[in-house]
């Protein structure tokens, strides 16, 4: 089933090689005998696929995280866990922890590898908007600039180049969200619909802005962070605040904060003073009063299993001044 799924995904017959027993030497016995180890090369990147590590979903997410870390350290290659099925809770936690996994016929999630990310996105989610296209749609919904605004003005607002905005216009037009301007040199952005109609038209191809979740420790939040997650939702609704506040920043900004020692990253929440969401786009572009904008917030919490969060998100959507 795995080979068939990979062939459908890549449109090529996958070459899966069994990992030689000698390469398993040094692993704990409970891991070396846990399942089937195979090597797969995709888009120039070697991956280790581990099938059967928890066939009955008996391992907790924490146990899966520990085993994945041991395997990745041992092989010095990206390790992808293969499951016959995953319940929604485990799937969401693996997504949050950025642990690569495959559920044949259902989902492939391999986030950390830049060489794979763009092609993975195109292959697995062909209708999902790029980060810059998504922030453009959200900006239109939240700020409502005049229709037909020049691309250079959009570029200035969002912090991208005019060339990038030209590609965004083509992407939005291809997805039916923008009209194609007449003439040899179209320079404006004309949306096909507006307000709530645009939200409903785009909703299925919008995704969570969160790329990674990190536990962090700092004495005070750096100015570049905005309140996000449950913290922001509790500011806007009757939902109670989490004990550990949540903030958001662009994923590249997170690296800068670590490099300048403004924050300390932790593996576990025990001593954390905050959880930080690393976003695909800069949250401050759309931030309101120091917190993530309402629509990005809704998208980031859309898959929450907490009924209280879902109710608060519905309340937030009902408050939107379309």
What is the structure's pLDDT at 127?
63
- Give the DSSP per-residue string, 117-137: HHHHHHHH-TTPPPHHHHHHH
Strands 274-279 and 246-250: parallel
Query: Hey, how many other C-beta atoms are within 10 angstroms of the C-beta on 190?
Result: 15
What is the structure's pLDDT at 8?
72
Tokens describing residue 285: 């572009």
Question: Would you mind telling me the total number of residues written for the chain in this entry?
Answer: 322
At residue 170's C-alpha, the angle toward residues 164 and 175, to 5°, is 125
What is the structure's pLDDT at 122?
43
What is the structure's pLDDT at 90?
80
The ranges assigned to domains in the chain are 2-124, 131-205, 210-318
What is the structure's pLDDT at 11?
63
- Give the DSSP per-residue string, 64-100: HHHHHHHHHHHHSS-EEEE-S---HHHHHHHHHHT--
Domain 131-205 classified CATH 3.40.50.800?
no
Q: Compute the distance between CA of residue 314 and CA of residue 317 in angstroms, rounded to an integer.
A: 5
Q: Compute the distance between CA of residue 149 and CA of residue 161 in angstroms, rounded to an integer.
A: 15
> Which residues are within 8 A (CB) of 67 and not within 5 positions of it... i.e. 6 or more apart?
31, 34, 53, 59
> Which residues are within 8 A (CB) of 54 and not within 5 positions of it... i.e. 6 or more apart?
63, 64, 81, 83
At residue 47's C-alpha, the angle toward residues 44 and 49, to 5°, is 145
SS3 call for 276: strand
Query: Phi/psi class of residue 33: alpha, beta or left (left: φ > 0; alpha: ψ in -120 to 50)?
Result: alpha
What is the structure's pLDDT at 98?
82
| Count of CA atoms in the C-beta half-sphere (13 A) of 312 | 24
- Give the DSSP per-residue string, 165-211: HHHHHHHHHHTTSEEPPSSSS--EEEESS-HHHHHHHHGGG---SEE
What is the structure's pLDDT at 199?
96
| C-alpha separations of 250 from 30, 138, 145 in Å | 39, 16, 24
Query: Hey, how many other C-beta atoms are within 10 angstroms of the C-beta on 28?
Result: 11
Would you say 47 and 77 are in contact if contact means Cβ atoms under 8 Å apart?
Answer: yes
What is the structure's pLDDT at 35?
86
Burial of 162 (0-12, 13-18, 19+ CB in 10 A): middle
Tokens describing residue 230: 């449950």
Tens of pLDDT, residue by residue, the chain (322 residues):
788 888 776 667 788 999 999 999 999 998 988 889 999 987 677 899 999 888 677 788 888 999 999 999 999 999 999 998 887 778 878 887 888 999 887 778 876 443 343 444 444 444 689 999 999 999 999 999 999 999 999 999 999 888 889 889 989 998 889 987 766 566 889 999 999 999 999 998 999 999 999 999 999 999 999 999 999 999 999 999 999 999 999 988 999 999 999 999 999 999 999 999 999 999 999 999 999 999 999 999 998 889 999 999 999 999 999 8
Output DSSP code: residue 243: S
Would you say 144 and 198 are in contact if contact means Cβ atoms under 8 Å apart?
Answer: no
């Amino acid at each position: 089933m795995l080979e068939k799924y990979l062939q459908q995904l890549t449109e090529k017959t996958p070459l899966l090689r069994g990992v030689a027993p000698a390469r398993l030497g040094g692993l704990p016995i409970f891991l070396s005998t846990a399942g089937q180890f195979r090597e797969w090369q995709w888009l120039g990147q070697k991956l280790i696929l581990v099938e059967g590590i928890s066939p009955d979903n008996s391992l907790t997410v924490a146990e899966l995280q520990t085993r994945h870390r041991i395997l990745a350290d041992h092989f010095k290659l990206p390790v992808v866990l293969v499951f016959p099925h995953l319940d929604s809770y485990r799937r969401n936690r693996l997504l949050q922890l950025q642990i690569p996994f495959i559920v044949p016929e259902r989902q492939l999630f391999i986030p950390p590898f830049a060489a794979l990310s763009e092609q993975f996105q195109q292959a697995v989610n062909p209708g999902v908007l790029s980060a810059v296209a998504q922030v453009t749609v959200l900006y239109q919904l939240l700020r409502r600039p005049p229709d037909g605004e020049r691309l250079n003005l959009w570029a200035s607002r969002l912090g991208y180049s005019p060339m990038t905005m030209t590609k965004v216009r083509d992407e939005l037009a291809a997805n039916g969200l923008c009209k194609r301007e007449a003439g040899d040199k179209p320079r404006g952005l004309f949306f096909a619909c507006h307000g709530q109609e645009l939200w409903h038209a785009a909703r299925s191809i919008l995704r969570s802005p969160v790329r990674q979740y990190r536990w962090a420790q700092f004495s005070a939040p750096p100015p570049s962070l905005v309140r996000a997650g449950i913290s922001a939702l509790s500011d806007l609704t009757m939902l109670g605040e989490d004990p550990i506040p949540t903030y958001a920043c662009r994923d590249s900004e997170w690296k800068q904060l670590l490099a300048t020692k403004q924050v300390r990253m932790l593996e576990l929440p025990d001593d954390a003073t905050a959880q930080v969401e690393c976003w695909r786009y800069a949250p401050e572009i759309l931030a309101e009063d120091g917190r993530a904008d309402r629509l990005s917030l809704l998208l980031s919490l859309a898959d929450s299993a907490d009924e209280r969060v879902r109710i608060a998100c519905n309340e937030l959507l009902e408050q939107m001044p379309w």
